[in-house]
């Protein structure tokens, strides 16, 4: 009769990673939990079920060996038994791996319910994962012999299944164990928050973790939950948005089955619950669960430059590390000066409108607060430059166009929109303060707009140029007529 110890040696590990020390034979099972980096203590609990009872015909203790105390115990004629009344009996009796029956059960003499369990003829190994997966389907019909947090203790030698509240499973043999340490490396759900798109803005697609936006931009966020194969039960995603974000809606088509909580009990902005049925479907199909929703930058966009959107998940007693996506807005200094030849002096009184288009379009709206123009939904479309420099903020990356609607007194206005570009950084100007009674002067940076004095030249293609062309043409024609008349007069003479 084949000893089941060989089978137990093969089947020690299932989903968990086990590291065991083996002194004598009592069975105090200590479970140490390895928590993923950045996560909190899982608070994991366990249930221990006895599958087989074990008996040892002969045990020789305290033999010279390699244990810490220099001894080792040996065991002879170890036998394993299961009762036909056990909820696990039918699974053990019928379990197959690769189309081959794994166990052989023989009724013990003098008993009508007790069976001796061995490996079937020809079986060298089998899938412990497959066995435990089947065993745990009937766990509700069985009574755990131990439950709770680590450490756990079982008094009888045997073959046990350990289930965790986070869905992990292990099968262990306690024969020869007095203190068994099981180091669990749980597969736990994780998440990653990214940005899919931004209207009137840009996304850094190197990792999709950051982007730039303006007031009123609609940001589409995606939370990807990696569901491990061991997951059972619901997963809750907690989402914390900066106050500058206004939640719009969940993309129901993409996140089918996920529900949202409008007013979470904690400090989160939103909570999304992935029910157990969706988790089970993700496990079965080996796919992630995606939660997609939109939010807009609201009127509080002027309170900061970087706006963070943070998500984390809870699963049973486990809390994951957070994942953050950041939306940035930028600012620029608008500086009005005269020419380099005139000393680059700062000029007051100029007025501008800012567009996203080179021609046409609608000017961007601003709100003036404490001398700073911040992008807003409705306000003023006119930027007035005071003290030669003004700060404008709340803009995304990209090209913009300044249209001067009023020039400083004595200076000519621009005859076309001036292009400017924000490329991942603020545009900050440096100026030198003038002596008493003298104007400040421009040094570098920012967005500088130069006005000139003197005769105003009309823009190319404008009426002024046309007039020059027409007058010039008339003068040439007049000169031709005069020459012809003079020639005729000369011939007559």
Rg over CA atoms, the chain: 40
CATH number at residue 286: 2.60.40.740
Are residues 175 and 67 part of one domain?
A: yes
Burial 198-219 (b: 16+ CB within 10 A, else e): bebbbbeeeebbbbbbbbbbbb
Average pLDDT over residues 302-317: 82
Contacts of 133 by beta carbon, 8 Å cutoff, 6+ apart:
169
Question: Is there a domain that residue 456 lies in?
Answer: no
Question: pLDDT tens digit string along 405-461?
Answer: 999 999 998 989 999 999 888 999 999 988 887 889 999 999 999 988 865 544 333
Contacts of 304 by beta carbon, 8 Å cutoff, 6+ apart:
242, 244
Q: How many domains does the chain have?
A: 4
Tell me: pLDDT of 315 over 60.
yes
Domain boundary among the residues 166, 185, 204 is at: 185
Are residues 416 and 348 part of one domain?
A: yes
pLDDT for the residue numbered 467: 32
Are residues 195 and 153 part of one domain?
A: no
**CA-CA distance, 270 to 111, in Å (whole number)?**
61
Which of residues 253 and 22 earns the better pLDDT score?
253
Are residues 291 and 248 part of one domain?
A: yes
Question: Is there a domain that residue 457 lies in?
Answer: no
Are residues 54 and 114 part of one domain?
A: yes
Question: pLDDT tens digit string along 324-348?
Answer: 999 988 999 999 999 888 889 999 9
pLDDT for the residue numbered 225: 96
pLDDT for the residue numbered 176: 72
Are residues 165 and 234 part of one domain?
A: no
- Omega within 30 of 0 (cis) for the link into 151: yes
Are residues 153 and 19 part of one domain?
A: yes
**CA-CA distance, 104 to 82, in Å (whole number)?**
11
Are residues 208 and 335 part of one domain?
A: no
Query: Considering only CA atoms, which of 352, 353, 298 is closest in space to residue 329?
Result: 298
Domain boundary among the residues 328, 358, 375 is at: 328
Tell me: pLDDT of 483 over 90.
no
Query: Considering only CA atoms, which of 83, 89, 88, 79 is closest in space to residue 111?
Result: 83
Q: What's the token pair of residue 128?
A: 């412990």
Q: What DSSP state is assigned to residue 11?
A: T
Are residues 368 and 279 part of one domain?
A: no
**CA-CA distance, 241 to 37, in Å (whole number)?**
23
Tell me: pLDDT of 469 over 60.
no
pLDDT for the residue numbered 474: 42
pLDDT for the residue numbered 156: 84
Q: How many CB atoms lie under 10 A from the CB of residue 44?
A: 20
| Class of residue 392 by CB neighbours under 10 A (exposed 0-12, middle 13-18, buried 19+) | buried
Question: Is there a domain that residue 432 lies in?
Answer: yes
Question: Is there a domain that residue 421 lies in?
Answer: yes
Question: pLDDT tens digit string along 125-169?
Answer: 888 878 888 998 999 999 999 998 888 888 888 889 988 877 777
Domain boundary among the residues 266, 301, 328 is at: 328
Question: Is there a domain that residue 491 lies in?
Answer: yes
Contacts of 140 by beta carbon, 8 Å cutoff, 6+ apart:
none
Determine the structural domain holding residue 315 and report its residue range. Answer: 190-328
pLDDT for the residue numbered 439: 86
Tell me: pLDDT of 312 over 80.
yes
Residue with tokens 């998500």: 311
Are residues 403 and 266 part of one domain?
A: no
Are residues 363 and 306 part of one domain?
A: no
Average pLDDT over residues 373-379: 86
Look over the chain and give the mean of its residue pLDDT values, rounded to a whole number: 81
Q: What's the token pair of residue 58?
A: 């002969």
pLDDT for the residue numbered 39: 65
Tell me: pLDDT of 229 over 60.
yes
Are residues 27 and 158 part of one domain?
A: yes
Query: What pLDDT band is residue 186 in, cutting at 50, 70 and 90?
Result: low
Whole-angstrom CA distances from 218 to 12, 81, 109, 212, 454 are 52, 65, 76, 11, 46
């Amino acid at each position: 009769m084949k000893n089941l110890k060989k089978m137990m040696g093969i089947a020690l590990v299932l989903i968990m990673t086990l590291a065991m020390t083996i002194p004598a034979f009592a069975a105090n099972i200590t479970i140490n939990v390895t928590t993923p980096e950045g996560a909190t203590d899982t608070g994991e609990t366990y249930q221990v079920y006895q599958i087989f009872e074990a008996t040892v015909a002969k045990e020789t203790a305290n033999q010279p060996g390699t244990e810490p105390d220099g001894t080792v115990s040996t065991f002879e004629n170890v036998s394993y038994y299961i009762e036909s009344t056990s909820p696990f009996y039918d699974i053990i009796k019928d379990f197959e791996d690769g189309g081959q029956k794994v166990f052989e059960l023989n009724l013990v003499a003098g008993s009508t319910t007790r069976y001796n369990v061995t490996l079937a003829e020809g079986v060298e190994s089998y899938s412990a994962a497959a066995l435990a997966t089947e065993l745990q389907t009937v766990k509700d019909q069985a009574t755990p012999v131990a439950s709770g947090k680590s450490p756990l203790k079982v008094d009888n030698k045997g073959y046990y299944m350990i289930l965790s509240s986070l869905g992990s499973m292990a099968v262990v043999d306690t024969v020869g164990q007095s203190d068994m340490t099981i180091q669990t490396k749980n597969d736990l759900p994780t998440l990653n928050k990214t940005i899919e798109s931004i209207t009137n803005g840009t996304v850094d697609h190197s990792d999709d973790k950051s982007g730039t936006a303006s007031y009123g931009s609609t940001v589409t966020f995606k939370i990807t939950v990696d569901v491990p194969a061991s997951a059972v039960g619901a997963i809750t995603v907690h989402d914390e948005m900066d106050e500058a974000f206004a939640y719009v809606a969940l993309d129901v088509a993409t996140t089918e089955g996920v529900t949202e909580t409008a007013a979470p009990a904690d400090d989160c902005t939103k909570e999304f619950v992935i029910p157990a049925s969706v988790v089970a479907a993700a496990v079965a199909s080996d796919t992630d669960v995606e939660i997609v929703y939109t939010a807009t930058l609201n009127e509080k966009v002027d309170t900061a430059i970087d706006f963070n959107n943070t998500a984390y998940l809870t699963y049973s007693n486990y809390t994951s590390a957070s994942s953050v996506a950041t939306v940035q807005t930028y600012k620029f200094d608008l500086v009005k000066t005269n020419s380099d030849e005139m000393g680059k002096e700062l000029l007051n009184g100029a007025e501008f409108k800012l567009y996203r288009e080179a021609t046409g379009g609608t000017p961007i709206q601003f709100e003036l607060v404490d001398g700073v123009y911040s992008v807003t939904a409705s306000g003023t479309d006119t930027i007035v430059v005071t003290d030669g420099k003004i700060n404008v903020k709340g803009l995304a990356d990209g090209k913009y166009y300044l249209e001067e609607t009023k020039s400083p007194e004595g200076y000519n206005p621009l005859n076309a929109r001036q292009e400017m570009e924000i490329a991942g950084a603020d545009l900050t100007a440096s100026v030198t303060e003038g002596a008493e009674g003298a104007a400040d002067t421009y040094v570098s940076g920012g967005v500088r707009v130069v006005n000139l004095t003197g005769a105003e030249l009309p823009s190319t293609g404008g009426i002024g140029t046309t007039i020059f062309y027409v007058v010039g043409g008339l003068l040439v024609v007049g000169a031709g007529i005069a020459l012809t008349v003079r020639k005729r007069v000369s011939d007559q003479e």
